[in-house]
Amino acid sequence: MLHLRAVCPAERTEEALRVLGQEPGVAHLVVHRGAAVAPPGDLIEADIAREAADDVMDRLCGLDIDRVGGITLAELDTALSDAADRAEAAAPGEGADAIVWQELLSRTGEESRLNVTFQAFLTIACLLASVGVITDSPVTIVGAMVVGPEFGPLAAISVGLVLRRWDLLRRAALALGVGFPLAVLVTAGVTLLSQAIGLLDVTQFRAGREVDFVYQVGWYSLIVALLAGAAGMLAMTSAKSAALVGVFISVTTVPAAGYAVVAAVVGDWSRAGESVGQLAVNLLGIVVAAAVVLAVRHRGRRLNGLGRPLSRG
């Protein structure tokens, strides 16, 4: 179940209540007259079955409540209520399969921003990857995969392409286009410093074999990237977000960038080039597969008559 709060101008409250009252997937409908201060109006609250939320959000946005008031959705961990059980049973489909498109736009929009936190995580992930390469440690490489935040912008690019949200696409492209070069530059500086003080043993790097999978690009690299992109988008558009951890561990985006830096510092340009190729294959494969999955699901939404323009809020 999801909890909805809508700040609604008084003159549109009855229309909003009618929309919510007609939806069988809605329970616990409450209105607080005059409770909203900024913007002024009424506060409407309701619990909604996830599979009914997208339709409800579309209809409320059709009343321009998202523009003249405000709408928020929050996940409910527990709902002990016969009315809530009836609402979930009456709503068509399964909650785990339902997409709340406004939620998806909000989530990908937030995770695709170039900010200090995103840059810090990406830089730390690249540094971890470089350490894993230098020490020939697969465990450290896996740690870098988990820490890397790059799937957010990649998912946002897919969403932007499918929904034609060019603002989202530009924002995500900026995050990757600026974030990766900055992370690589910092990692290169730290790697050069490690070499200068004797921490980086070139002989050890060239002899390492445990992490060779990071730069060895091939058909399986593309296959894994496609599968990961599909799984990642399924996780983001459903209630199975825990599966994203597996997506992070399955692709070698950040590790490939870290390997390329270390290889370039020691003058192994062949491995550096292959690592860059691995990075490109992974980025492209994830975006393509995620976009295909999203396009199929969006087509189903349009066939169901829910193809209204999505809010740019």
Per residue in 250-303, pLDDT (tens digit) is 678 899 999 999 999 988 899 899 999 999 999 999 999 999 998 887 775 554
User: Residue 225 CB: number of other CB atoms within 10 A?
Assistant: 24
Question: Which H or E run contains 41?
Answer: strand 41-48
Confidence at 307, pLDDT banded by 50, 70, 90: very low
Pairing of the two strands 2-8 and 70-75: antiparallel
Question: Rounded distance, CA 123 to CA 119, Å?
Answer: 6
pLDDT score for 313: 42
In percent, how much of the chain has pLDDT > 90? 43
Most confident stretch, 51-65, 231-245, 299-313: 51-65
User: Residue 207 CB: number of other CB atoms within 10 A?
Assistant: 9
Please give the class, per CATH, of domain 2-98.
alpha beta
Confidence at 208, pLDDT banded by 50, 70, 90: low
Q: Is the pLDDT of residue 232 over 70?
A: yes
Q: Is the pLDDT of residue 191 over 80?
A: yes
Q: Is the pLDDT of residue 84 over 80?
A: yes
The ranges assigned to domains in the chain are 2-98, 104-303
Token code pair at residue 241 = 């977000």
Cα angle 46-91-96, degrees, rounded to a multiple of 5: 95
Token code pair at residue 129 = 């990857």
Burial of 33 (0-12, 13-18, 19+ CB in 10 A): exposed
Q: Tell me the mean pLDDT in the region 64-77.
A: 89
Question: Rounded distance, CA 71 to CA 61, Å?
Answer: 9
Token code pair at residue 70 = 């405000």
Question: Rounded distance, CA 133 to CA 128, Å?
Answer: 9
pLDDT score for 170: 93
Residues in the chain: 313
Whole-structure pTM value: 0.80
Q: Helix, strand, or coil here: 87?
A: helix
Regarding predicted confidence, which is higher, 239 or 160?
A: 160
* C-beta of residue 254 within 8 angstroms of C-beta of residue 125: yes
φ/ψ of 92, rounded to 5, equals: -70, 140
Confidence at 96, pLDDT banded by 50, 70, 90: low
Burial of 309 (0-12, 13-18, 19+ CB in 10 A): exposed
Q: Is the pLDDT of residue 308 over 60?
A: no
* Rg over CA atoms, the chain: 23
Question: Rounded distance, CA 297 to CA 275, Å?
Answer: 33
Q: Is the pLDDT of residue 18 over 80?
A: yes
Architecture label for domain 104-303 = Up-down Bundle (1.20)
Regarding predicted confidence, which is higher, 261 or 97?
A: 261
